[in-house]
Amino acid sequence: MTSDTPSSSRKVASRAYLQTAAQLRTLIANLHITAGARLPSERELAQQLGVSRPTLREALIVLELQDEVEIRIGSGIYVKNRAVRTESVGQVDHAGANKAPRIELRPGVQATADKVDNGQQALAEGMPDDDSDGAPAAHAALNLHSIAEDSPKEVNQMRYFLESAVAAEAARFMAPGLRKKLRQSLTDMQKAMAQNDVSTNARMADADRLFHLTLAQSTDNQLVMQTITGLFDQRYRPIARTMHRHFDDQQAWLAAMQEHEQICQAIEDRDPLQAQAAMQRHLTRAHQRLMAIIG
């Protein structure tokens, strides 16, 4: 059975964080939340919009990249550039308010859900919503399209499936030269951590990349190497890069280094089951670190 949905629409629909970003944008505008005001907590927003925390986190990063909100770790999410985005949605239809389900973000402050749905549909179809001229909404949708990328959550899940198997394979067959290279990546991490200066994050990221790509090289399979390289390098795209900028710190890197050590030790011990389990723990915890509470 084939789908009648155009492939471009299916691709956008699969990016739930973009639809959530459109919903958030519409809510901010329709609720007339002023610049500088603090939005409800992540937990409240996720509950009100009916999405997972990871999807909400990615949507917030999208709006931050659009200079619409500011994420302050430990404090919360604040509205920034409201003036331009307010134009991208129509006013609340008070006459029809009783006919539409309502979404409440704060006690006494509500917005009609039909506007949220319209904004989401406009994004998915690449079409304007019910504004009089349609242009601002279409422009907003194009802005979201311009930074669309694979969900960091889904990238991590794909890496979990693939790299845990690669780690097990490396424990069985990795050549001595590659084991030495793998160990060198840990030495590079230790040196970068010890230096602890403005270059530390970049040097840690380089060592991290060397570690995972060396594991991929152990398969001697070009397709596996290309796939793992492409998945890892997603971290340098705008959304993932911004998430790492917020949440990569010395504590996070120290945890990653310790997890790498466990993987490396299992490979040196030629223990496939421990190598696989250690990689699964590492990628699970790495994603959890990106999902730290904003506020």
Full DSSP string of 132-181: SS-HHHHHHHHHHHHT----HHHHHHHHHHHHHHHHHHHHHH--HHHHHH
The residue among 104 and 209 whose pLDDT is bigger is 209
CA 231, 236, 241, 244 dihedral sign is: positive
Query: What pLDDT score does 143 carry?
Result: 56
The Cα–Cα gap between 33 and 178 comes to: 55
Tokens read off for 26: 């519409």
Provide mean pLDDT across the span 229-233: 95
Question: 81-109 burial by CB neighbour count: b if 16+ within 10 A, else e?
Answer: ebeebbebbbebeeeeeeebeebebeeee
Chain segment 240-292, per-residue pLDDT in tens: 888 888 878 889 999 999 999 999 999 999 999 999 999 999 999 998 887 77
Tokens read off for 127: 């079409």
In contact, 23 and 149? CB cutoff 8 Å: no
- What is the chain's mean pLDDT, rounded? 77
Q: What angle do CA 191, 194, 200 make, to 5 degrees?
A: 75
Query: What pLDDT score does 148 carry?
Result: 62
Residue 77 pairs in a beta bridge with: 71
Query: What pLDDT score does 156 carry?
Result: 92
Share of the chain above pLDDT 90, in %: 39
Query: What pLDDT score does 294 carry?
Result: 61
Q: Which of 7-21, 49-63, 248-262, 268-282 holds the top average pLDDT?
A: 268-282
Place of tokens 């990653």: 256
Query: What pLDDT score does 46 carry?
Result: 87
Which of 10-19, 20-29, 55-64, 179-188 is the least confident region? 10-19
The residue among 15 and 256 whose pLDDT is bigger is 256
The Cα–Cα gap between 189 and 121 comes to: 46
Provide mean pLDDT across the span 60-83: 84
The residue among 97 and 294 whose pLDDT is bigger is 294
The Cα–Cα gap between 186 and 91 comes to: 56
Q: Which of 21-30, 149-158, 187-196, 206-215 holds the top average pLDDT?
A: 206-215
